[in-house]
């Protein structure tokens, strides 16, 4: 069997084997090598590249016809089958099995980056809507002594939805909303303890209103900045 390159290619020949510089019994590897070599030799000539590809296709079709007519050996038939499938000689079967199984293997644990806070002020209509709702919540809290729980519940839901709409996953969004409420109530409790009864009376607010006020302000801040 003549190896590729023993006879030079004849680009103008009508015989596809001669055009690629191949013998009739060339192996699959030799056909592939001849194609790549001839494509490199053509440079940037599109017509020459087209002739090489046409010769390559003709060689494959010739091999297919010979195999269908039983005119090729078992080795040549195996090479022809690889030519049809377009699969070059590759890694071992074990590696092939691992490659097929790779998409089914469990992925690594999800990154914790989605849990970390990202601060970015909302823009446009979203900013206006959040500010209006936040001001209404503060007004309701200040004018209605018994509205603290309702305002905090609505603020918690609003902060959660704000984060989800900005692309954060639901679980981290819920977590940060709860943290905001808890931290705000803790600050409010400290504030109530620090203020004297006289100061509380001068503010004309109940202790529940004073305790809920930092939580509402913190939730509004999270809805405006946490992305």
Q: What is the residue-wise DSSP string for 1-47?
A: -PPTTSS---TT-SSHHHHHT--TT--HHHHHHHHHHHHHHHTT-HH
Phi, psi of 11 (to 5 degrees): -55, -30
At residue 119, the 3 state secondary structure works out as strand
- Of 77-91, 145-159, 177-191, 202-216, the one with minimum mean pLDDT is 77-91
25-83 per-position pLDDT tens digit: 888 888 888 889 988 888 888 888 888 898 889 888 887 887 777 655 454 555 555 55
Query: CA triplet 53, 9, 67: central angle to 5 degrees?
Result: 60
pLDDT in tens, 142-164: 888 888 889 899 989 989 898 88
Residue 88: pLDDT over 50: no
């Amino acid at each position: 069997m003549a190896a590729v390159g023993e006879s030079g290619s004849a680009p103008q020949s009508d015989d596809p084997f001669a055009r690629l510089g191949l013998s009739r019994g060339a192996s699959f590897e030799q056909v592939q090598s001849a194609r790549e070599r001839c494509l490199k030799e053509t440079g940037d000539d599109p017509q020459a590249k087209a002739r090489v590809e046409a010769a390559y296709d003709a060689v494959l079709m010739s091999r297919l016809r010979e195999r269908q007519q039983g005119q090729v050996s078992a080795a040549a038939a195996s090479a022809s089958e690889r030519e049809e499938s377009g699969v070059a000689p590759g890694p071992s079967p074990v590696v092939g099995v691992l490659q097929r199984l790779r998409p089914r293997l469990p992925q690594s644990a999800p990154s914790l980056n989605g849990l970390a806070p990202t601060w970015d002020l909302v823009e446009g209509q979203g900013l206006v809507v959040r500010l209006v709702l936040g001001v209404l919540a503060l007004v309701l809290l200040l004018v209605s002594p018994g509205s603290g729980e309702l305002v905090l519940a609505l603020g918690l839901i609003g902060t959660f939805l704000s984060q989800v709409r900005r692309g954060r996953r639901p679980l981290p969004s819920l977590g940060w909303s709860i943290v905001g409420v808890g931290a705000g109530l803790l600050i409010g409790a400290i504030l109530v303890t620090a203020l004297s009864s006289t100061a509380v009376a001068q503010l004309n607010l109940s202790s529940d209103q004073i305790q809920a006020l930092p939580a509402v302000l913190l939730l509004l801040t999270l809805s405006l900045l946490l992305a």
